[in-house]
Amino acid sequence: MAQPTLNNQRMNQNENQSSIISRREFLKLVVPAGVIIGIGGSIYVLSEDKVFLRPPGAVSEVRFLSLCIKCRKCEEICPQTTIETVSITEDVAGSGSPKLNFRVGACDFCMECVEVCPTGALEMM
């Protein structure tokens, strides 16, 4: 009876391994998917619906976030310095958009912010 040669043994071993995924190949597929899912979940959790007091004349929140270009003109013109921007730690989706901070001052509804808003995110009341 002929003894199997070393080449035949390697061929049989390669045939068996080709149908089974190696541990290294499995990790190459699973780890990036896990990272993507983790990042996506973090963004979802961080961007939960936060409620901010917007400058006077702000349209609905969803429309406001789609119209606001985060130009900061409203913040710059506010005579009471009540308007500031939302930081990324407060809200990922709304970061850079204006909010009112009454710890700094009181809004006197001068409506100067509405006048300088270039996109209509703030409308005259």
pLDDT score for 69: 96
Residue 123 CB partners (closer than 8 Å, separation 6+):
57, 58, 59, 114
Element (H, E) at 82: none
Whether 56 maps to a domain, the answer reads no
pLDDT score for 46: 53
Note whether 67 and 90 are same-domain residues.
yes
Residue pLDDT tens, the chain, 125 long: 555 565 555 555 555 555 688 888 888 888 888 787 777 666 655 555 678 999 999 999 989 999 999 999 999 999 999 999 999 888 878 889 999 999 988 999 999 999 999 999 999 98
Whether 91 maps to a domain, the answer reads yes
Tally the domains of the chain.
2
* Residue 44 per-residue DSSP state: H
pTM: 0.60
Note whether 110 and 69 are same-domain residues.
yes
Do residues 82 and 38 lie in contact, with contact meaning Cβ atoms separated by under 8 Å? no
Whether 85 maps to a domain, the answer reads yes
Whether 24 maps to a domain, the answer reads yes
Note whether 110 and 75 are same-domain residues.
yes
Q: Which of 81, 71, 51, 79 is nearest to 122 (CA)?
A: 71
pLDDT score for 115: 96
* Count of CB atoms situated within 10 Å of the CB of 52: 16
Structure tokens at 17: 């391994």
Note whether 39 and 78 are same-domain residues.
no
Residue 10: domain span? 6-46
